[in-house]
Every structure is written in structure tokens, then in C-alpha cells.
Amino acid sequence: MKKHVSRIYMAIIFFFLYSPIAIMALFSFNAAKSRTVWTGFTLDWYSKLFHNETIINSLGVTIIVAVIASVISTVLGTAAAIGIFNMKKKTRGIVMYFTYLPLLNPEIVTGVSLMLLFVFAGMQMSFVTLTLAHISFCVPYVILNVLPKLRQMDMSLCEAAQDLGCSQRGVFTKVILPEIMPGVLTGFLMSITYSIDDFVISYFTHGANSQNLSVTIYSMTRKKVSPEINALSTIIFLVVLTILLVMNISDSRKQKKLREGAAA
């Protein structure tokens, strides 16, 4: 009985999570612009999507900003995590307190604060300010993903490497970095996800020619959202789903090989 109840519960949860996406994907093939009445199947909206310069340019800005911000954030966050890990306990606690603030702070406060900072510094809102804003809120996510891996690491490995004549750089590249790499990759993926998804901070820090996708879609809602957005959202969902499936299949194959190796 409990098994059936749990299955029904999970089915309801997944229905509420994925039914809106399914409806959006369905109406991306609707011949009319209506979001309630099905008038026939068409691929015109997908064709028009790739000829819509505004959406394509915004998508390009979104991807470029996400990649640049994520790479820089990963480097800065990893270096900061190593520095914080080597601090004294009291100092580490104070620094971590300020690290949590950007995550707990409402996005609208962060967005307005960054906008005022850029104006005070005499910077015009542009691609640069948008990228800097994204870096500022991505770095804490990298720190919080790398620090647990540093705590789990056996520090005697570093001492052993030094005893064997390994330089400080060699210890980092051959011992520390491989140990914390899962946290680094997780931080990078979270950074790129939050960067693509962000709207509030991007709204306050973007320039006239550097609108990301979320800001462009918001500007469209003042009139009416085009079915081209449904088509774009469907493509993004399918790309993310494909990446997740590939990663899960790859992980399951690796685990299978490890089990077979252990059994042998």
C-alpha cells in the first residue's frame, strides 16, 4: 500500500513539474499564435526563430556571458576556496559569513547595488558590466562547492608529495586539483546555469546592445510572447535533457566498470 501511495505521490509531483514544459513544447508546433487553441501542426516557428535577429543576438550574449563568467568565477572561486581553507578558524568563519551574503541577499538588492557601483565608477551599462555582475554572484557558488572537497582531502598526500621532491606547483596540479576537481566542475556547472537563468541582476546591469535572453523575453511580455520563444525554450530543454542523459549514462558505465574490476 505504501509503495502505491509513494508512486502516486511521485507521479503527481512530476506532473506538476513537467506538464507546463510539455504544454509549452506542444504549442511551439501550433500553427496559430494562440496559447489555448490548437489549430494545426507546423514547424514555422522554429524556422522564424533562426531568422529573428533579436532573439539570436540575445541568445549569443547569454551564452558568451555565461561561459566567460563561469570560467573566471571558477578560477577565482577555486583560488579563494583554497585560501579560505588555509586560514585560521576565526578568520575563516568571518570570511565565510561574507561569502554567504551574496547568496542570501535578495537579487533585486544585488542588482541595484551593482548598478549604482558601475554608475559611481563612471562605467556605462554594457557587455562588460553585465559580465562583471554575473561573475560577482557566481564566485560564491564555486567557493561553496570546492571547500567541502578540500575538507575531505587527505592532507598527508600533499606532505608525501613534498617529501618525494614535488614542488608547490606540482602538489597543486598533481595532488590537490585532481582531488577537488568534482567540486570545481560542479561549481562551474552551477555558475553557467545560474548565469543563463538570471534575470533580475541582468536587468539592472545590461546595456542597450547587451541584453541577455531573459531580459529580451521580459521586454516581449509587455506586448505578447511570440511562439518563437516556445520553440527556443523547447530546444534549450531538449539540449539540457540530452546533456543530463549523456552524463548519467557515462557515470553508470564508469560505475559498472569499477564494480566489474572490483569483482575481478
Taking only the tens place, the pLDDT of each residue in 7-32 is 888 889 988 888 888 888 888 888 88
Q: What is the pLDDT of residues 137-191, one digit of tens each?
A: 999 999 999 998 888 887 777 778 777 777 778 788 888 888 888 889 989 989 9
Task: Specify if 259 maps to a domain.
Answer: no
**What is the per-residue pLDDT for 1?**
67
**What is the per-residue pLDDT for 48?**
86
Q: Which of 196, 202, 71, 232 is nearest to 139 (CA)?
A: 71
**What is the per-residue pLDDT for 119?**
92
Please say if the pLDDT value at position 74 is more than 90: yes
**What is the per-residue pLDDT for 135?**
94
Q: What is the CATH number of the domain that holds 204?
A: 1.10.3720.10
- Number of domains composing the chain: 1
**What is the per-residue pLDDT for 71?**
95
C-alpha grid cell for residue 133? 555582475
Task: Specify if 179 maps to a domain.
Answer: yes
Average of per-residue pLDDT values in the chain: 86
**What is the per-residue pLDDT for 31?**
82
Task: Specify if 116 maps to a domain.
Answer: yes
**What is the per-residue pLDDT for 264?**
61
Looking at residues 213-220, what average pLDDT do you find? 85
* CA 100 to mean position of chain CA atoms: 18
Task: Specify if 119 maps to a domain.
Answer: yes
Task: Specify if 98 maps to a domain.
Answer: yes
Give the CA radius of gyration of the chain. Answer: 23
Task: Specify if 113 maps to a domain.
Answer: yes
**What is the per-residue pLDDT for 70?**
94
Higher pLDDT, 1 or 203: 203
**What is the per-residue pLDDT for 113?**
93
Please say if the pLDDT value at position 134 is more than 80: yes
Task: Specify if 16 maps to a domain.
Answer: no
**What is the per-residue pLDDT for 65?**
94
**What is the per-residue pLDDT for 62?**
92
Domain that holds residue 157: 53-225
Looking at residues 73-85, what average pLDDT do you find? 92
Please say if the pLDDT value at position 115 is more than 90: yes
**What is the per-residue pLDDT for 263?**
67
CB 23 within 8 A of CB 17: no
Task: Specify if 95 maps to a domain.
Answer: yes
**What is the per-residue pLDDT for 63?**
92
Please say if the pLDDT value at position 96 is more than 90: no
Lowest mean pLDDT among 72-76, 96-100, 139-143, 154-158: 154-158
